[in-house]
Each structure stands twice: as C-alpha cells, then as structure tokens.
A and B are shown apart, each in its own frame.
Chain A
Amino acid sequence: MALLQISEPGQAPDPHQRRIAVGIDLGTTHSLVAAVRHGVAECLPDAQGRVLLPSVVRYMEGQRRLVGFDARAFQAEDAAHTVASAKRFMGRRLADLQGAAQLPYEFVDQAGMLAVRTRQGLKTAVEVSAEILATLRQRAEDSFDDELFGAVITVPAYFDDAQRQATKDAAQLAGLNVLRLINEPTAAAVAYGLDHGSEGLYAVYDLGGGTFDVSLLRLTQGVFEVVATGGDAALGGDDFDQLLAAWALQQSGCSAVSAQDKGALQMAARRTREALTDHAVATLHCPLDAGDLRLEVTREQLEALTCPLLERTLAALRKVLRDARVQRGDVLGVVMVGGATRMPAVRRAVGDFFGTDGHVRVLTDVNPDEVVALGAAIQAHALAGNAKDGQLLLLDVIPLSLGIETMGGLVERIVERNTTIPVAKAQEFTTYQDGQTAMAIHVLQGERELVADCRSLARFELRGIPPMAAGVARIRVSFQVDADGLLSVSAVETGSGVQASVVVKPSYGLADDQVAQMLRDGFAHAQDDMRLRALREARVDADRLLLATQSALAADGELLSDADRRSIGALMDRLRELSAGEDHDAINAAAEALAKGTEEFAAARMNRGIRDALAGRSIEDV
C-alpha cells in the first residue's frame, strides 16, 4: 500500500513539525475561528472570552479601524462608515443588490465589484472581509502563540464563482494560506457526522444572516458526498429584519431617512426578532431623529409577515430533492445551521416539510452559530496532515451550471450544476463566418437560457485562427473547476493549435495586480515589513517543499533513474543554498524549479499508488 504511505495525511513529512490549521466561518452577521486542540474542535475566544466576532468594520479618522464588537457599537451612531454584512456585497455589482436603498451606505459601482464610500476611501467587500479575517488570524496566532499553517474558509454552497474568488482574495489580503474553500452546509455535516458516526442521506438547512443554503449529503464511511445543493445567496435573517423594520415604520407612521436612523432601526428589528424566539410578545424600540419608535410585536405578527421568506426556503428544499432524485422519506435527518434557525417558525416549517411522524430527525444539538466553524476546523486539521485517521474526505459539487454564450444570446451549458468537483469538460464550437480569425468567448454561470439572465464571469478572445470557411474551424473550449469550486477556461483551435486561456477572475473581482497593490498599500499589515514577510513566507514554503521531496524520495526513490535522482538532488541543493540568502524571488524561483523537476516523479508515484491500491483485485472479484 505504497500510496497510503505517501498520502496518509496522518503522516506529515516531518512529525515534529507542528502545523496549526484553523477553520474560519466568514459569516454575514458574525464570524468565528475554530481549531482542533487535543483532538477536539473548539471555537477560539477573544481576550474577553467571546467566540463570535461581529462581521462589522468601522473606518475612523486617520487610518484607524475598529473590528467586531467595538465596531458594532457604532453601527447606529456612525452607520455610513461602519460596514456590516459585507458578505452580501462579495463579488457583486450594485445591480445585484436587493434593498440597497434601505442600507445606510453610499455605494459606488466600480468595475467588477461595488464599494462603499468611507472616510478612508472606497472599500470593497473584499477589503472589509480581509479586516475580519486578519482579526481572526491574529486571534488564532495569539491562542497558539505561533504562526498559522493555513485555514479552511467556508462559503455558502450557493456562492457563485465570483463570490468564491472574492472570498479567496480577502483571505490572501489577510495573509492567510487558504487550504481549501468548503461549503458551509458540508462543514456543518462534518461537525455532526463525526460526532454521531451517522451513515445515510442527510439534509442541511442553513439559514444565516444573509444567505440561505440547502444541501443534501450522503455519508458513507468517512466520505461526505454532496448529492445536490441549492439555495438563495440573497436570503437570510437580515431579510426578516428588513421586513419587520419596514412594517414597523408603516404601522407607526414614522420614517427613517438618515443613515443613522436606518442603521438603528435595522438593529432594533433584529433584537426584536431574536426576542420573539423565546417570548410571544416583544417591544420594538428605536430612537429616531424625529422621535422614538415604540411598537409592540407578537410572534404571530412576525411569522405572518415573514411567511413568504420561509416559503422560499422550502421551495429551494423541494428543488434540491428533485435534483437529487430522492424522496423526502429517504432523508434520515436535517441539520439546522445558522442563528436564524432558532426561530420557532423555521424549525416548525422544516419539521412539517419532512413529515410529522418523527421519521426525520431535526438536529439542533450543536450550537447553530458554531457548527460551521467547527466542521471547517476538522477539515483544516486533516488537510494540514494532523489527523490520525485520514479517512475524512469531502466530495463537493458545483452549485450552478457553467457555460458559454452562443449565437442569439443563448447559453450553452458545459458543466451542469451538481456535478462533483474537481471536474474538467470540453466542448467543440465552430466559426460562423467565412475567414473568421478571432472568436470572443463569454463565460457564464446560471441556470437560465438567456445570457442576460445569467452571471457573466469572464470574457476573452481566441485570436489568430487561420482563415477558413464558416463552420470548418474546430474550437475546443475547456472548463476546469478545481476542488475549491473555482473555474479556469481555455480555448484552442484544434487544427492550428492556436490557444487562449483565462483563469476566470478579472471581469469581476480583483486582478492579481490589484491584490498586490493593496498588499503594498499596507493593508492589514501596516506595521509589517512586506519584504521581510515575503522572505519568511518563501523560506517556509521552501522548507515545506524540501521536506515533502525528501520523504517522497525515501518512500519511492527507486522509481527514479540515477540521472533523474541526481538532477532532483541538484535542484534541492540549489533551493537549500538560496533559502539561506535574502532574495525571496530567487527562493521562489528555485522552489518552482524543484516543483517542476519533480512533477514526473510525482505522477509516477501516484500511478504506482493507484496500482497498488487496486492490486490483488481482478476484474472478476470486484
């Protein structure tokens, strides 16, 4: 079982090397960081013992910022410069945003992604989120008194490519090494599955502050297979609050015009909604510019008001069951995730949906605020090579179909939704005009037929096609979605070999040079010397690579010819030598050279591993 020897995550190349890996739930309302300590996943508290970090950043005079509770305290008073729920703006344009007028911010629609105008200039959701992530990173490093090896960051299953990429950009800005983006419902199931040792089909109903996800997972001996996923990336507890706030204004005849009023009212609405979880009646009280708003609200009133929102979640649930081609009765349990699932009406509706005979368990015993971060921590622990049994494996799917624009503004789907990732698919297209030498490729995500109804992810051009009659050129467009759910696209004219490709990124989020610019601007590292930081990172990466190569040589060195072995040895020596110096670019280049130089070796080891894993099975007995 050579493959197990080389791949067993339980065996880090160097057992003495501690690898601290955390799970981060970057939430709409609040965020958390968790880690596995002494074999148990736990959320890491701040200095005051609080595990939740409100996802709020306040931009003050000078270059000062407040993050978390300190920022939230000013949400009413300094609403325009105190950015909350930034997750809802991730990878979005202004046109995507519902209810923007209700929010106390001045939005600016920039190329790619909208920004909020603050006294420190324009801030995108990526920058706001990076502040939150950097705060959590600091918290984790303080807890362990050590640097982090990496983090698993959770995203709503229904996040599209733009939103996922934006999340990864934010992590990069915060100086985090992203081990993997995983879907929130999947993380929740991991936290539950390991505790309960469950097998079978489970649903995860995740109603967070700003997003709603539903996923169907099959658990089999440590493999978490997402069968189907769906939801609504713009539906959450915030929407319940907004409905309640609007209703309260209407009932009382008050108006909230200023940013401060809007901010205060939204917070008052949330407090009232939360109070109605345990009480039948609550008072919504909010000081406004024109006087106090005071209104008694019953739980029945809230439930009647928000019933349409709940119905939207159930429609998504029905759709996911149909996508998976399973019946309600096949589901063994429903994991409830997200603070908004504390609402009695939500639990009741989900329970009723699956039938009241008690066949389906509604699982609420892990704190719904923490469960996602805990699951992410377990996965991070395994990915960092710390888990003793490397049996946990997540097989996730792509939530929305991917395709390209064809004639007439129609979308030709190339990768269907709910396809297991990683995945690669190619399709052939042709030219429609005689002598056509270029082809524009427009990449889209969504389920609708028309380009206008789908999200545009990227545009690029394949140029230099040799002139041919219409319909003769063979243009092969390949989509590749990696295990984080991120897409890259390439196109090639198969006759001439002319190529073009794009990592789907620049048309929305931040181009690499923009990220680099922000890093240079001292984002989140104002006191850090960037050059020293880069050098330290380059050395850590080099050490990691050298260790991995060494252990690979020890395990499977006999696969190499003497000449190959010598050339790998030379590359390793070169990297060691440069690592002792000060030039981080040179270290990175030597590391890249070693990585390239060992690629064939890695392929040979993988092939042998697979062969060995299957050895002893003939076609007849499998």
Chain B
Amino acid sequence: MNIEDDDFRLFGLPERFAQDAAQLDRRWRELQTEVHPDRFAAQGAAAQRIAMQWSVRVNQAYQRLKDPLKRAAYLCERRGAPIDAERNTAMPREFLMQQMAWREALDDAGDSSALQALAEQVEQQERASHRQLQALLDERNDVAAAAAQVRALMFVARFRQDIEHRLEALES
C-alpha cells in the first residue's frame, strides 16, 4: 500500500466501472479514520504534514471513484484512451440535435416544475449512459467507444449544472 498507488488499489476495490456506492463510502470513511490529520493532532508537525498528504490523496481518489463520469474517464486514461476533451470535440449528429433541443427547452422553461421535469429527463439519459459505459468498460473493453461516451456525458453533466443554476436563481 503506497500513496502513489492507483485509486482502486488504494481503496482495495476491483478495477472496473461497476462499483457499490455504499461500499465505496465505507472504505473512504475507514481510510480517513486511519490517515486524517486529526488522528495525529498530538504528534507534531511532521506527522501532520504526512497525514495531510495522505488525507488529500484519499479524498482525491474518493472524488474520482464516486462520480461515474470521473471514474469512467480515469479508467479510459488508465487503459490508454485519454479523454482530452479539448482536442476531441466531434460529436455524433443525433447527440448534437438532442443537445439543441434541451437547450431550447431550458430557455423556454418558465417555472421550477418545468425545470425539474427537464432535469429528470437529463438524469434518465445519464443513467442510460452509465449502463452503456459499464458494458463498454467491464464487458467489451472497448475503450475508444467508452472515451467517446465520456466526452458526450461531459456535455450532459454541464447541462444538468446549468439547470441547477437556473433553479437556484429562481429560488433566491
């Protein structure tokens, strides 16, 4: 066990897309219980610095493993297909059409119930993409297709954030 280990190894989890969220949370709490700086509060500055590095590392891995999008991107990278979203902007035509339709729906949504309906639609799409990612990464090992799926999902995630910002603006 080493601070340079990959996220899966650090958490003692199998290296695959499908993960049990409850187990991941539990492992995170267990690891933080071992490494958090507060566990070494009475042991001097050197121990504090090291604990801080470990704790940061554990949090970093947790953030990456917890979010399906980040986890998929991490797996793609590890298997030799970096996401590199800035240089890979080509998207399938149907995907772009759907994005435009969603953007229009967002512009037209006047109240929070319309926004919430749209959010629900987007989340459904995200869940479907996660199922595809699982098949691509865990069963077929088609990393190139998975990376393309991740790039598309990044747009979807950003769109969902835009909906949330609109909801926030409506409420405040």
Contact = CB atoms under 8 A, between A and B. Distances in A.
A225 B66 CA distance: 15
Given A480-B56, A606-B50, A607-B2, A422 B44 contact: no
Given A482-B52, A599-B46, A614-B12, A606 B35 contact: yes
Interface residues of B, number: 43
Contacts of B167: 322
B36 A483 contact: yes
Interface stretch (B26-34, B73-81, B88-96, B130-138): B26-34
The B contact surface, by secondary structure, is helix
Which of B29, B38, B51 has most A Cβ within 10 Å?
Answer: B38
A599 B41 contact: no
A545 interface: yes
Contacts of B45: 595
Which of A12, A220, A483 has most B Cβ within 10 Å?
Answer: A483
A611 B12 CA distance: 11
A605 to B, nearest CB: 8
A540 to B, nearest CB: 13
Given A322-B167, A482-B52, A607-B3, A9 B39 contact: yes
B40 interface: yes
A614 B9 CA distance: 11
B8 to A, nearest CB: 8
A548 interface: yes
Interface string B1-44: 11100000000111000000001000101111111111111111
Given A483-B36, A595-B44, A315 B63 contact: no
Contact of A385 (B12, B41, B50): B41
A610 B1 contact: yes
Interface in B113-172: 164, 167-168, 171-172
Given A180-B38, A613-B34, A606 B54 contact: yes
Nearest to B2: A607
B60 A424 contact: yes
B152 to A, nearest CB: 22
A465 B38 CA distance: 39
A424 B32 contact: no
B63 A419 contact: yes
Nearest to A618: B12
B12 A610 contact: no
A619 interface: yes
A545 B14 contact: no
B172 A315 contact: yes
B81 to A, nearest CB: 20
B65 to A, nearest CB: 13
Contact of A483 (B2, B37, B50, B63): B37
A544 interface: yes
Interface stretch (A94-102, A388-396, A502-510): A388-396
Contacts of B23: 622
A393 B39 contact: yes
A7 interface: yes
Interface string A378-398: 000011110000110111000
B49 interface: yes
B46 A424 contact: no
Contacts of A596: 46
Contacts of B60: 423-424
B159 to A, nearest CB: 16
A402 to B, nearest CB: 15
Contacts of A138: none
Contacts, number: 124
B37 to A, nearest CB: 5
Contact of A544 (B1, B3, B44, B63): B44
Contacts of A385: 41-42
A45 interface: no
B3 A7 contact: no
B1 A607 contact: yes
Contact of A622 (B27, B29, B33, B35): B27
Contacts of A599: 46, 49-50
- The bracket for how many chain A residues form the interface is 35 or more
A391 B34 CA distance: 10
A544 B40 CA distance: 13
Contact of A610 (B27, B34, B41): B34
A6 B34 CA distance: 10
A390 B2 CA distance: 24
A544 B48 CA distance: 14
A271 interface: no
A223 B12 contact: no
B52 A395 contact: no
A6 B55 CA distance: 17
A426 B1 CA distance: 24
Nearest to A394: B38
B47 interface: yes
Nearest to B3: A607
A520 B59 CA distance: 41
B166 to A, nearest CB: 12
A216 to B, nearest CB: 15
Given A422-B52, A598-B46, A319 B171 contact: yes
Contacts of A552: 43
Given A393-B39, A422-B37, A595 B46 contact: yes
A3 B36 contact: no
Nearest to A390: B39
Nearest to B34: A613
B116 to A, nearest CB: 10
A619 B14 contact: yes
Contacts of A549: 44
A381 to B, nearest CB: 11
B59 A545 contact: no
A221 B168 CA distance: 33
5 contacts: A419-B59, A483-B37, A548-B47, A549-B44, A602-B46
Given A180-B38, A595-B45, 7 more contacts: A6-B43, A384-B41, A422-B59, A544-B44, A595-B44, A602-B50, A610-B35
Which 9 pairs from chain A and chain B are nearest by CB? A385-B42, A383-B41, A611-B1, A622-B12, A602-B46, A7-B39, A424-B56, A599-B46, A595-B46
